[in-house]
Chain A
Amino acid sequence: MNSVLVIAQNTFRENVRDKVLYNLILFALILIISSLLIGQLSLGNEVRIILDLGLASISVFGMLIAVFLGIGLVYKELDKRTVYALLAKPVHRHAFILGKYLGLLLTLLVNVAIMTAGLALALLYHGGASWGALVRLVPAVFMIFLSLAMVTALALLFSTFSTPALSALFTFLLWVAGHFGKDLLRFGEIAQSAVLRWISVGAYYVLPNFSVFTIADSRYITRDATYPLAADPLLVGGAALYCVLYCAVVLSLAVLVFLRRDFK
């Protein structure tokens, strides 16, 4: 799939030249640095606060990057009609979608790496975290990255048929809903009507479930005694598989929309 890689590389280049990206990274880094200050206010347990705040920043800003860049991925090409010249080349339509997705994933990877490096530096500066903790940052951030991959796929899907404003809204709502995880099922349990219960079950499976990615959080990194799960490789594998499956489903839908489309 040579064309997929070519398109991916070009998408990466396009993102790198987008100023929005730099503002977001800057904010993320500022937040991570300020976690050092906030940590000092908390009378002990500082490493925990720095980690919590840092990981949350990476998650939230990663989501913002994924959304802001993702909603325009296809929409911009359609709106500006750059897609015309592109699809007249020997490029399959699914290669177009996949290439765009991979390009944005690559952008996200680089950004997440930068933010993680910032967090690691903050921890090093603080001095309270062990080397082991720094190493364990990687699986924790990997989990965050998996959730971002899902958000990107959703933003891309909306981008194939909706305006940027609506796409951003829908993707953001799905991101929020995705954090409820099993609570969605519990809502259905308290509901009295069977219809609501079916809806909540449906929502639980259709909506992204980000709670599966929280298995590696700050307690895991600091080897907190109250946290029973060490890095359970099966769980990590299961979560990664879930991400791959979910993204495959969403991207297939995006390709389907794109295939049926007339470019007037």
Chain B
Amino acid sequence: MPVVEIENLTKDFLVGFWRKRPARALDGLSLQVRRGEIFGFLGPNGAGKSTTIKLLMHLLRPTSGQARILGAPVDSVAMHGKIGYLPENPYFYDYLTPEELLRYVGRLFGCRRPELGRKVDALLETVGLAEARSTQLRKFSKGMVQRIGIAQALVNDPEVVFLDEPMSGLDPLGRMEVRRIIASLKARGVTVFFSSHILPDVEALCDRVAILNRGRLQEVGALEEILKVRIEGHEILLSGAIADAAGAIGVLCDEVRAMGDRLRVRAGSQAQMEAVLSKVFDLGLELISVNPIRPSLEDYFFQEVRAGARPPAAGFPGGKGVAS
């Protein structure tokens, strides 16, 4: 049974001061998340990612449609005891220390005293905040707040974890940490649902992704499948007397570029590749490598998103107060 089922979820916000008009932030989203997978939720700002997660957390109520987590409807308070949530741009009570915050959260989950202590220690270790455990949160940097946010999402050993932009505001080291944590969660069998617009992270971690644009689901599936569809040719690296050969090669392929003492050739099709390769020896060049060009998620993203762009719904604000 899927751990998260979303069916036709739609959310309208009322905007405007006097005559409130509905602005559709999410339009008929349907998807499922399987147990044990890391599911990435992608989209540009204003696509509806945060809205979706907030709907799942029952912070917002849908205009229509339904969703279930672990088989229970999202307004089930008991179900919330089995999941974890990290909000976007999190903020926690700044007068508390990390230790106090985690104890507070733990008691809300109904954890008992002795095991709570151990759990808090372990979590602080995991997110690397053990030294700062008695510093008030108001003194924390953004990265540290992000880390305590992840910690508080894990207090109850959840079965599913929902992370809204978990890497935002982190330096590369911090992002590595978070990646490591997410990977370790998967290793423990926890399902992870996270939204992000940092594509390399998604690429590295996710089993499946969903791509959201302007409130609509564009694509969902395993990463390789989405990207495999578009092998865009091959990249051929050549070295040698490149200055003379550049022109001759250039007519045979899509693109040729000199990079230092190498020539980088982009052959858009099988025919082009064969043509170029056959010429290599004639021109006295050396073959260094031939690689298929698979678009990065980034390229795919820009391409698909732009192509799939629809004219904005009337009055769609895309600004503060409406989910990203």
Residue with the greatest number of chain B CB neighbours at <10 A, chosen from A14, A18, A90: A90
Interface class of chain B by DSSP: loop
Given contacts A14-B95, A87-B57, A264-B13, contact A81 B87 (CB under 8 A): yes
B149 touching A6 by the CB < 8 A rule? no
B residues near A82, Cβ cutoff 8 Å: 91-93
What CA separation (Å) do A89 and B322 show in the bound complex? 23
* Nearest CB on B from A109, distance (A): 20
A85 touching B60 by the CB < 8 A rule? no
Given contacts A14-B93, A81-B87, A89-B105, contact A264 B80 (CB under 8 A): no
A residues near B59, Cβ cutoff 8 Å: 84, 87-88, 262-263
B residues near A86, Cβ cutoff 8 Å: 108
Given contacts A88-B85, A262-B61, contact A6 B13 (CB under 8 A): no
* Nearest CB on B from A15, distance (A): 10
A residues near B105, Cβ cutoff 8 Å: 85, 89
What CA separation (Å) do A262 and B105 show in the bound complex? 22
The 0/1 profile, CB within 8 Å of B marked 1, for residues 69-93 of chain A is 0000000000011101111111110
Please give the number of chain B residues whose Cβ is less than 8 angstroms from any Cβ of chain A in the complex: 34
Which residues 1-55 of A have a CB within 8 angstroms of B? Answer: 2-3, 6-7, 10, 13-14, 17-18
What CA separation (Å) do A19 and B77 show in the bound complex? 35
B90 lies within 8 A of chain A by Cβ: yes
Given contacts A85-B90, A87-B57, contact A264 B321 (CB under 8 A): yes
A residues near B322, Cβ cutoff 8 Å: 264
* Nearest CB on A from B160, distance (A): 12
A residues near B95, Cβ cutoff 8 Å: 13-14, 17-18
B residues near A14, Cβ cutoff 8 Å: 93, 95
* Nearest CB on A from B20, distance (A): 13
B residues near A7, Cβ cutoff 8 Å: 108
A residues near B100, Cβ cutoff 8 Å: 13
Interface class of chain A by DSSP: helix
- Choose one: B60, B77, B78, B104; the contact of A264 (CB below 8 Å): B60
B residues near A91, Cβ cutoff 8 Å: 77, 80, 108
What CA separation (Å) do A3 and B93 show in the bound complex? 17
Given contacts A90-B81, A262-B60, contact A6 B108 (CB under 8 A): yes
* Nearest CB on A from B133, distance (A): 17
Given contacts A14-B93, A262-B60, A263-B54, contact A88 B80 (CB under 8 A): yes
B residues near A81, Cβ cutoff 8 Å: 87, 89-91
Closest to A76 in B: B93
